[in-house]
Structure formats: structure tokens, C-alpha cells
Amino acid sequence: MIPKLSSRTAWDLRENALHEQVLQIRQSVAHLVDLGASNPTVVGLETPRELPLLLADPAAATYDPDPRGLSSAREAVARYVGEHGAAVDPDDIVLTASTSEAYGFLWKLLTDPGDEILVPTPSYPLFGYLAGLEHVATRTYPLVRDEGYRVDLAALEAAVTERTRAVVCVHPNNPTGTLVRDEDARAIAALARARGLAIVADEVFLDFLHDGRPRARSFASETEALTFTLSGLSKACCAPQLKLGWIVVGGPPELRRAALERLVVIADTYLSVSTPVQRALPRILERRPAIAAELSARLGANLAALDRAIASLGADTPLRRVSSDGGWSALVEVPRVMSEDEWIVTFAREAGVLVQPGWFFDIEDGGTLAMSLIVEPRSFEAAAGRIADVVRRHV
Ligand SMILES: Cc1ncc(COP(=O)(O)O)c(C=O)c1O
């Protein structure tokens, strides 16, 4: 007999047709600029390069684990969260190997098989996998494009069922780059409290708001509903390879205490964060402002280059950037003279630029593409110019 594999892992692993086409194009087009890039360690940023050197601390030769994470590391996270206006107790923080692992811990904490969590759509495609791996179902609530991807509060409330355990808020969202407005956050907290739900706030991009945007409120200062605020080094310090994330547990003290008691046992079961990175965390986070400044300058420059390229097509061009508050991507509406996938192939062949389809993030209008803004600015500017040229030729 053949061993049975879990139904959780019965994924359709066939590559889609677009992926096959892109693979072929990659082989035939020299110097393709990949505007699907999301890995900050390979885009020529200077400031994060020294972070791995900070791991060489003799103190890390000793293994003396704390299930929440070493207190010196949690104190450093509390200082970081404090910079976002939230005063948190280091004992209300649990370290994880990544934000993705934090989601796994939280679904273990909050759900039984068959329970549901609410996730925004459009958003980051990993949520379905992270939930499915814990036998949890995702239901979506819409962010309304015509209202700047604002949360549809009525639809969110209507999506709550007896099995709903948590609402995920991505602040700012990936790839739309939109923040959850303060009044919407308050309404979500009131709903969560009334219906016995937890809020899971993903703030991995909160340090990257576009120029001129005021600092946004962190969900870590939430007091009304049980709230888990997630972030980590992947995005905050452009260092996904260091494998360190965190969960800040907030909300009414009695709910917070009960959740933490069990969350600590989950973390203790894995003890997944390495000692060297925990020891180095205070010094890593001291360097964060310089890293964020370098990347923010690049995001701003690339956004401006994209806007210039679009403006070169004239005021009435159907190529349009969707406005956003921050994040590492830009969304662009393309003219409807061909499908999203056809535009991707056309941009790759004729401009030597790879972009991502909106459908990858469940944007269903059939005419939106996502472009990474973390790419080296000279390549990005040239790529944006070539994209504009291709649009000019086809419209
Ligand atoms: C919104 C969002 N959350 C979480 C993650 C994953 O972060 P980590 O590397 O900490 O697991 C990503 C990665 O792109 C993301 O876009």
C-alpha cells in the first residue's frame, strides 16, 4: 500500500501556462529586468549587507533558551514598536523565525480544524497556504478599489460566521500598499470584541510609507480587542535570511494573559529562533533606520520614475498607477487591448521587463499588473521607460 499523504497538502502543483511562457522568455531574452523581485538581499542595497557580521558574538555559543525569546531581544522589539507609538511590555512579545511562522503559531492558538479566518482580498497569496496547513479555512473580505482599497466594513461583518476566529489586517497591504484607516481599525476592533474574534495585524511594511505620509498608527496600541501584531527582519531590515519575526500581543489584559500563556507553550514546542540572531537583535535594530532610509529613498525614486514614464504617454493615457500609501510594490492599470497575461508576455518580449499579474493577488479586474519598487533605480527607470514605449506602440 502507498502511504497516505495529508489532505492539507493536496495542492495542484502543476505550473500554470503563464509560468511556462515566462520560463521560456527568461531563456531567450538577455538582461531581463525582473519587476516581480521581492528578495531585498539581491537588489544591491548597501546598508543591510553588514547585518550578518553582527551575528558573530561569543555569547551565542551558549544555548539558554527562553520560549518567548531572549529578554534583551524582546526589549529591542519593544523599543522598535515604541517608535510606532505603542508602549508595549517586552513580556507581551513572542519571537518567531518569521512572520509566516507567526501565522502558523497563531492559527494553532486560535483555531480548531474547520474554523475560519478572514483575510483581505486582494492581498498576499501565502495566506491560503498558511491557513490550509493548520486545517483552517480562509474567507475573504473585500478592499474596495474605487475607494482606494479601503476595507468594506459591511462585507467584513457579513463574512463573520460561527466558525470565524480571527480577522487578518495587512497594514499596509501587499500589493495594494493601502493602510487600514484609523476609523476602520476602530470599527474592526469593535466587531472583533462583539463577535469574540482576534485581530491579526500584519505590519511588515509599516516602515515603508510614501514620502509625505504621516506615520501610521500601529495595531500594537489596540486595547479593545485581542490583537496580535506581526512584523520581522524580513522587511523591516531587508534581511529575510536572518529568520527573525515577532508577535506583539495586545488588547484587554485578561485576554492577553490567557493567549500568551498558551502562545508561550507553542513557541516552547519549537524554540525556532537561533541564539545568534536573538543576541544580535538589539544591534540589528539600531541599524534599522539607516536601512529603511536607503530603501525608502529607492522606493520613492522608483515611484517617481514610474509616474514620469506614465506621464510621458500624455494625460489621457489608459496606463495608470493605482494610488497607494506605501509598501514595496506599485499597481498599474493597463489598457484593455489585451489580457493581463498577454501584457506580461508582451512586456517581457518587447521591453525585456517581467511584471506580475494582478490575478496572482486575487485582483480580478483583468487589467492590473504589480511591479516591485525595490529594484535598483537605474534598471527600474529604464524598465519603466521601455514599458511606456511598448504601451505607446500597442494603444
Ligand atoms: C504581507 C506579508 N506578510 C508576511 C510576509 C512574509 O514575511 P516573513 O518573511 O517574515 O515570513 C510577506 C512577504 O512578502 C508579506 O508580503
- pLDDT higher than threshold 90 for residue 53: yes
Q: How confident is the model at residue 30 (pLDDT cuts 50, 70, 90)?
A: confident
8-state DSSP, 323: P
What Cα–Cα distance (Å) separates residue 353 from each residue in 18, 163, 331, 380, 388? 15, 44, 15, 9, 11
What Cα–Cα distance (Å) separates residue 74 from each residue in 90, 245, 280? 5, 11, 12
CA of 350 from ligand 1 middle (Å) equals 31
Query: How buried is residue 285: exposed, middle or buried, by Cβ count under 10 Å (0-12/13-18/19+)?
Result: buried
Residues within a 6 A CB radius of ligand 1: 38, 98-100, 124, 170, 174, 202, 204, 232, 234, 240, 245
Mean pLDDT of 180-185: 97
Best of 103, 119, 174 for a ligand 1 pocket test (most atoms within 8 Å of beta carbon): 174
pLDDT above 90: percentage of residues in the chain: 94
CA of 1 from ligand 1 middle (Å) equals 39
Best of 235, 241, 273, 361 for a ligand 1 pocket test (most atoms within 8 Å of beta carbon): 235
Q: Which range is least confidently modeled, 69-73, 212-216, 309-313, 316-320?
A: 212-216
What Cα–Cα distance (Å) separates residue 184 from each residue in 115, 154, 191? 24, 11, 10
Mean pLDDT of 143-147: 95
Mean pLDDT of 302-311: 98
Atom of ligand 1 nearest to the CA of 102: 11
8-state DSSP, 29: S
CA of 98 from ligand 1 middle (Å) equals 8
pLDDT above 70: percentage of residues in the chain: 100
Mean pLDDT of 250-269: 98
CA of 232 from ligand 1 middle (Å) equals 9
CA-nearest of 226, 179, 225, 186 to 202 is 179
Q: How confident is the model at residue 31 (pLDDT cuts 50, 70, 90)?
A: confident
Q: How confident is the model at residue 22 (pLDDT cuts 50, 70, 90)?
A: confident
Contacts of 141 (CB under 8 A, 6+ apart): 118, 119, 120, 121, 151, 152, 155, 156, 159, 167
pLDDT score of 59: 93
pLDDT score of 172: 98
Mean pLDDT of the chain: 96
CA of 302 from ligand 1 middle (Å) equals 21
**In the numeric block, which cell numbers belong to residue 339?**
489580457
Question: How do 356-357 and 164-170 pair as beta strands?
Answer: unpaired
pLDDT score of 211: 86
Mean pLDDT of 296-301: 98
- pLDDT higher than threshold 90 for residue 17: no
- Per-residue model confidence as pLDDT tens digits over 325-374: 999 999 999 999 999 999 999 999 999 999 999 999 999 999 999 999 99
Mean pLDDT of 46-52: 97
d(CA 198, CA 346): 44
pLDDT score of 230: 98
Query: Backbone phi, then psi, for 93, in 5-degree steps?
Result: -115, 140
The stretches of 196-231 forming alpha helices (DSSP H) are none
Measured at the alpha carbon of residue 289, what is the angle toward residues 287 and 292, in degrees to the nearest 5?
110
Q: How confident is the model at residue 16 (pLDDT cuts 50, 70, 90)?
A: confident
d(CA 89, CA 96): 17
Q: How confident is the model at residue 214 (pLDDT cuts 50, 70, 90)?
A: confident
- pLDDT higher than threshold 90 for residue 8: yes
CA-nearest of 182, 190, 191 to 219 is 182
pLDDT score of 384: 98
